[in-house]
Amino acid sequence: MRKMPEYLKIADILQEEIISSYRPGDRLPSEYMLCTRFNASRYIVRQAMTRLTQVGLIKPHQGVGYFVNNKPLDIRYAITPVTQFSQIVRDLGHVPGAKLIHKEEALAPTYIVEAFHMKTPEKVYKLEIIRYVDDVPLAYNTTWLPAMYFDGLLKETENFTSLYTILRDKYKVNPLRMNSVIQSIAPYARDAQYLNISPNTPLLQIESLVKDEKNRYIEYTVAKYRGDLCRVSIEFED
């Protein structure tokens, strides 16, 4: 078994203590005190504190120290037919954000041809999106959409904020999630870089197929959520 890095061991110990013994606004021990306590270098301790900052537990104040956040991120992502990321985040009292980092038009790869039930490969749009909560990266999405239904979509993403807003306002489409497959995965190096996480942070991968009100396949998305900040629930109809 691969040995856990020292900074992650320290981060885990401090995280447990913060959750059980600290209150919002409390100041953590100084870096010097933590170095002495854990018999670790300042570099290792700073790595641990950076880790706790990334997961939203603490916030550094330059020249003062580290303080427990008032509201650590704990996003409960509910999967329903009409799930919309931005609205869920707002309902939880946070600020949503999105950054489109890649877009292209291409022929559908085999697995997208199968997902959309195409007879032959057709042109599709591929979008790669990082989703944020309070400026903290939460998810990395890769989304495919049939080009035949969304003419000129790439131009519509110039000032990107929300894909579903574009689909509803520009193309008069109401997305309806048909099914989702959820699994826990380890991040690729690219995932860790985009989400600003350790390679040891687990991800919740959600693959979703979406139709519209005309029963057309309009979206296939692979979303990778940070497992340290997000819980997923599935809501059933009454």
Q: Give me the pLDDT at residue 230, please.
A: 81
Q: Give me the pLDDT at residue 73, please.
A: 66
User: What is the number of alpha carbons within 13 Å of residue 109 lying toward its C-beta?
Assistant: 5
pLDDT in tens, 66-90: 999 865 566 777 777 877 888 888 8
**How many residues does this entry show for the chain?**
238
- Could you report the average pLDDT of every consecutive run of 10 residues in the chain (238 residues)? 80 87 91 96 94 82 87 71 83 90 97 95 97 91 97 94 93 92 91 83 92 96 89 69
52 and 85 together in one domain: no
Q: Give me the pLDDT at residue 120, please.
A: 95
Closest C-alpha to 11, from 196, 198, 225, 136: 198
Q: Give me the pLDDT at residue 175, please.
A: 93
40 and 87 together in one domain: no
118 and 193 together in one domain: yes
**Alpha carbon distance 198, 126 (integer Å):** 27
Q: Give me the pLDDT at residue 136, please.
A: 86
Residue 198 maps to which CATH number? Answer: 3.40.1410.10
pLDDT in tens, 131-144: 999 888 999 999 99
127 and 109 together in one domain: yes
- Percent share of the chain, pLDDT over 70: 95
* Cβ neighbours around 5 below 10 Å, total: 16
Looking at the structure of the chain, the number of domains it has is 2
Final residue of a structural domain among 68, 83, 117: 68
Measure Cα distances from 76 to 16, 68, 85 in Å. 20, 21, 11
Evaluate whether residue 87 is within a structural domain.
Answer: yes
Q: Give me the pLDDT at residue 78, please.
A: 74
81 and 59 together in one domain: no
Evaluate whether residue 204 is within a structural domain.
Answer: yes
93 and 54 together in one domain: no
* Cβ neighbours around 206 below 10 Å, total: 22
Q: Strands 230-234, 75-79: parallel, antiparallel or unpaired by DSSP? A: parallel
119 and 214 together in one domain: yes
Evaluate whether residue 1 is within a structural domain.
Answer: no
Evaluate whether residue 122 is within a structural domain.
Answer: yes
Final residue of a structural domain among 23, 51, 68: 68
103 and 188 together in one domain: yes
Final residue of a structural domain among 68, 92, 110: 68
Residue 64 maps to which CATH number? Answer: 1.10.10.10
Evaluate whether residue 91 is within a structural domain.
Answer: yes
Q: Which domain holds residue 12?
A: 6-68
99 and 170 together in one domain: yes
User: What is the number of alpha carbons within 13 Å of residue 31 lying toward its C-beta?
Assistant: 18
Evaluate whether residue 167 is within a structural domain.
Answer: yes
Evaluate whether residue 179 is within a structural domain.
Answer: yes
CB proximity list for 133: less than 8 A, separation 6 or greater: 73, 75, 89, 94, 95, 96, 97, 229
**Alpha carbon distance 55, 213 (integer Å):** 38
106 and 149 together in one domain: yes
Q: Give me the pLDDT at residue 156, please.
A: 95
Closest C-alpha to 129, from 119, 120, 116, 140: 140
Q: What element of type H or E holds 136?
A: strand 136-146
219 and 124 together in one domain: yes
150 and 212 together in one domain: yes
Q: Give me the pLDDT at residue 238, please.
A: 53
